[in-house]
Structure formats: structure tokens, C-alpha cells
Amino acid sequence: MNASPAPIVVKIGGSMAEDRASLVQLAADLASLHRSGSRIALVHGGGKDINRNLKWLDQEPRFVDGLRYTDSTAMDMVEMTLSGRVNKMLVKLLIAAGASACGVSGVDAGLMRATPLREDGQLGQVGSVTEVDSTLLDSLWLGGFLPVISPVSLGPDGESWNVNADDAAAALASRLRARALVYISDVPGVLEDGVRIPRLDEEGVEDLVARGIAKGGMIPKLRGCVQTLRAGVASVSVAGWSGPGSLEGILSGTSGTLLAL
């Protein structure tokens, strides 16, 4: 029997997650890839939805060093938003596109377990994924399903914890030794003087840092991509969405920026 192909992990964020027309196109691309026999996992965030819903509770989003503070009340809203509304919206779009999608979170079957992101407790229930159990995903793929994954994970106290969706996608891809991890957001790729860089390796990333092209939050993001590659993921892509068929272009490296060792 032939071994199953290594999975593809796709993470969506930024304005892409707010643009229904683009999400419908993405669902069609994912459904087509799913029908071809590829094992796909879609990971999502939903920060803007969380902020809107917190306002219903008369709560203002609170950030510490640029990271969302999550107390127990906010965590309830985070889980309802991510594992509920956003997750099921994506599942419905995928089903409409012809994919047998199934929504889960990091909590289900202990898929992802997290420890506090900061030891000083200043972020509340915000965690970093330290353990991934792929048993649930393997079962879903075996049954022909496409998992849609909320990053809400199990914390050290057995409660739900808030995890950054980029970090959750990287942890999943690393554990699965995915053949591709794709980040789809607002940017068309890694840019230099406004021009897309088609391909990067570790040396190229450090060159961008040394020359000041990569700065601020882009530095840990790119270095995080390199760490993911070192963990056994074949390629990592950073890309925007440009219409129907975009996913094929991103995976082939003809759009976005493809990082590989």
C-alpha cells in the first residue's frame, strides 16, 4: 500500500479572513485540492471578530507588548468566536464548495496542548503550543474529511487557552512534517523595495535582516518560518490572495514567497 502524501497546512488571516468573496474562492481551491487526494488542514484566527464581540460585553480589547491579554471572561468570548462562529462559517463555505469539511479546535481529542506564553502571567490565558497529538486529524483524513482548525488549545489547567493562529499552524505543520505550510494574509509575499521576493532560504532571510529590509515583527516571523523548515516541513509560503486558482500558484512558488532550505 502506498503511503499517504504528507499533508498541507493552510493558515488564513488578516483581511483575507474578512473578505467573503475571497473566502469562497479559497474554499473552491481547497475543495479541488481535497478531491485530488491531498490531505489538507485549514487553520484560522479571527482577531477582528473577537474585538467586535468583546464590545458586546462592553469590554475593550487589552494588549500587553502587542499581545492580546485574555482573562477568563475574554477567553469565553474567544472560544465562542473562534471555535464557534468563525470555524463554522468556514466549514459551511467548504461544504458548499464540495469538500467534506469538519470543524475542530485544539481542545478536541487533545489535538494541541499549550503552556503559558509568558511565565509572569501578564497575558492571562494566552499559551504557546508545546504538544500536538495528530490522532484526530489522521482519523478525519482517513474518513475523507477536511479539518478546519480553531487555534484554541488545552492549557495546563485543562481549560481552554488562546493561542496565536500563526503559531498553531506552525506547530501543527511541524508535528505533521507537512509538505507545505501556507500563510495567506494581506501581503503578496516578502517584499524588497515593493517587489515580491519569489524564493528565500535561511541565508536569504538573514541577509534581509542584516540589510534592514526585514524589520520589526517581520524578523521573528521569517526566522520562525526557518525553524518550521528545520522541523521537517518541506516548504513555507507567505502570500496574499489574487483570485480563483491562487492556491496552486502559491504552492508552486509562482506567487507569494516560498521559503525552503
| 2: Cα separation from own chain's centroid | 29
**pLDDT per residue rounded down to tens, the chain (261 residues):** 456 789 999 999 877 888 899 999 999 999 999 999 999 999 999 888 888 888 777 778 888 887 889 999 889 999 999 999 999 999 999 999 999 999 999 999 999 999 999 988 899 999 999 999 999 999 999 999 999 999 999 999 999 999 999 999 999 999 999 999 999 988 899 999 999 999 999 999 999 999 999 988 889 899 999 999 999 999 999 999 999 999 999 999 999 999 999
Strand-pair partners of 259: 200, 236
Q: Report how far residue 23's alpha carbon sits from residue 185's, in angstroms, rounded to the nearest whole number.
A: 11
- Give the pLDDT of residue 3: 63
- Give the pLDDT of residue 13: 86
Task: Provide the grid cell at 6.
Answer: 504528507
Burial annotation 134-169 (CB, 10 A radius, 16+ → b, else e) = bebbeebbeeebbbbbbbbbbbeeeebbbbbbbbbb
- Give the pLDDT of residue 236: 98
- Give the pLDDT of residue 261: 92
Domain ranges of the chain: 8-259
CATH 3.40.50.2300 fits 8-259, yes or no: no
Quick check: helix, strand or coil at residue 168?
helix
Task: Provide the grid cell at 112.
Answer: 494541541
- Give the pLDDT of residue 48: 81
Nearest to 240 by CA among 184, 197, 180, 169: 184
- Give the pLDDT of residue 4: 75
- Give the pLDDT of residue 1: 43
Say what the pTM is.
0.94
Nearest to 165 by CA among 129, 119, 217: 129
Measure the N-to-C terminal CA separation of the chain; round to a whole number of Å.
Answer: 30
